[in-house]
A and B are shown apart, each in its own frame.
Chain A
Amino acid sequence: MSDPTVAPEPSPAPTTPRVSKVSEAVIRIAGNSQDGIQAIGGFLARLAGRSEQEVMTFMTIPATISGGPSIFQVRIGSGEVLSAGDDADVLLCFYDHSYANHISSLKRGGIVLYDSDHVKPNEELLGSYHHVGVPISSLTVEAIGGTGRDKGKNIYALGLLARMFDLNVPKLTKLIEERFGGKDPTIVQNALACFNSGYGHQVQGLWETFQFQPGENAGHPQVVMSGNEALAYGLLAAGVRFGAGYPITPWSDIMELLRRELPKYGGTFVQTEDEIAAISMAIGASYGGRVAVTGSSGPGISLKTEALGWASMAEMPVVIIDVQRGGPSTGMPTNVEQSDLNIAINGGHGDSPRVVLAPASVEDCFYTAIEAVNIARKYSTPVILLTDQGIASRIEAFPTPDLEKVCQNLTPDFTPVMDHKPYDLATADGITRHIAPGTRVASGKYPVVTGLEHDELGHPTGSGKVHTQMNAKRRNKLKKLAEELPVPQVYGASEGHVLLVSWGSSKGPLEEAVKQARKHGEALSALHLKHLNPLPNGLEKIFSGFTHVVVVELNDEGLYGYGQLAAVLRARYCDPRIRSVTKTDGLTWKVKEILQRVLTLTK
């Protein structure tokens, strides 16, 4: 909101709050997950999207069934927003535990807006933060007619925030009506009563309110959604019409959406008995002629690896989504981690090449899903799409895609052929092409697909020579893909002291770190890798412009001191400049954390 290094000195409150123009704000809402704090964050994010502002959110959710402490952080900016923000400008807290656990995430001099029915502020902190108490719970009860229940206090608090940030009330009202408008009209009436009451409340002791400068994205209609939603819609746009899965957090959102949406497109999603059946069924449907999808998180991916090996061997296209979470085993189911890269690239027995892609943002989830489907088809290969909890549940606004242009029709081709050898070793591009069952072969010689090593028609062979040739075939087609991949662009100068390398959801925080560091004269740049297996060609040229190459990733440094991507890059380039900073605290990177760690490492 303001320069973080300059904290405004608390001063006696004037009667009329002054209005400050801001280009961005970080609002952290802390409470319990059952209080609907995600809903407040969601409203703010969608309002920003409709106001052509950039927005990014970050949330934590308890892994327990009945809820528990939870936060939702929203960063709204009139310009580029790269991360959910390190420190909050405003902290809204509902309970003592929310206050105690999150007051340190507030900028010095920031505003803590608390429910004075439940929170008793710490006297020692009164001078460091601007404390504003509102009896939110009791005022909510009053607003909706005194039923004795405070359900709706989230919407009341939204009203308070709307006043504080001079938010667009008609737009917010419309959002509330859209969300709560349903069969029972009292629900939306109550919600609006709460909102209006909060908005109209004369807050005591507030000496500053804010106004956002107009967004820079004017004229570009935006959509607002989570990464999981964007990914699922991307699969639909790509033309996927069959999927199978088993529930597991945080993948379940994707399968729920596909189950709901696919019938509209003439497709089917099957909830299977287990993870193995899910991938097997998806591969079966792919064999039926149209790339199918399955997905999971951590433990479920382990279960799928045998069938994944079959898809690699039989060269059957299939898209496998892995919404990574903290591992190993059941691990930290609702926390972010990027520790499945090794299993994505190498998981399974034998040499089983496959493609691994990782989207960087919510918008990227949409387009990467389409790319994954197209690579799977074109190269007849399994493709793993590695997303993470950091993007899966994050809400962002992004320009509405040109759907007429990006949507694809993948109706299978059953035109009869004279003769067909799927695993032809003599083709120019070295890529396997299957014909789906239902395709007549005039010669009467039909191919089979198998997990046994096979000859060009798919029939089993024990020949070591053929095994060598087929291993090379499965490997070389991915080398060919590597040639076709775009070389990633460096963010910042192409030469300097340190090149930060990111993958997955860390892209934004890294680029913001570069921006901040360059302001302070540090020669930092960033490179984001989306294609992780195969890697694009030409990275060594980029690395050569820097004294240090530091991979910033959310996993453990391992036995030998390198994160999972750093280890792959070191093996690939034999370059001792490549090192990593890693962490596994279950949270996304903060910009200051990256800078501290990287600058210490490269001093």
Chain B
Amino acid sequence: MVEVYTGATGLPNWTIYLAVVISGLAGATYAARRGFDVIGVLTLSVTTGLGGLLIRDILLARGPIVLRDSTFIWMAVVAAVLGFFFAGYIARFDRVLLAMEALAMGLLASVGADSALRAGLGTLSAIVVGTIVATAGSLLRDILGGDAPQLLRPGVFLGVIALSGSILYVLLESMISEPLISQIVVIAVVFAGRLVAVRLDLETRPAADLSDRVWSFWDRRKGAAP
């Protein structure tokens, strides 16, 4: 038996396998919608499902868990098969998939942040790694699919929520140091945040620019000077 360190210290390992299936499904249905062939569905399912965890292990400079524990690959393949044959059904339940994706995002953010902390990295680094693990899948999917990544463009809160989830996890860990509780709290908060954002259509805006305000403040001061 290979010793599996998935990073889900508190939660059992099946949760992270489930997260892989869900994100893989998101990749597979995207590929099916875009009219990709069987290799496209398989590739995007594997990339979206395993990309975040793979990048985590590359960043932490260790053998990728997704290769050492073959269950991960099989989970991504299951997602690809489901997406290949049932894309239509899945699209009909897109709200369910969206909710499950939110759960997976919370789990991945906490797992990423947790494994960075366990590898001895600092607070800020753990936040970055958590965010990368939670979002890299969708980023890679859009790049391979030839789209401008949805993650980076104005739209319903997505990356911001993953970022907040990682920050929350690191904060909770530094205060209570109970991985199980922190993980559940982060998953709940990310889930709720994402659903509320979708429900109320909360969108990020293009980045603001304060320089004009600074200039006008400067001009007024200059005008006030004798």
* Binding between chains A and B: no
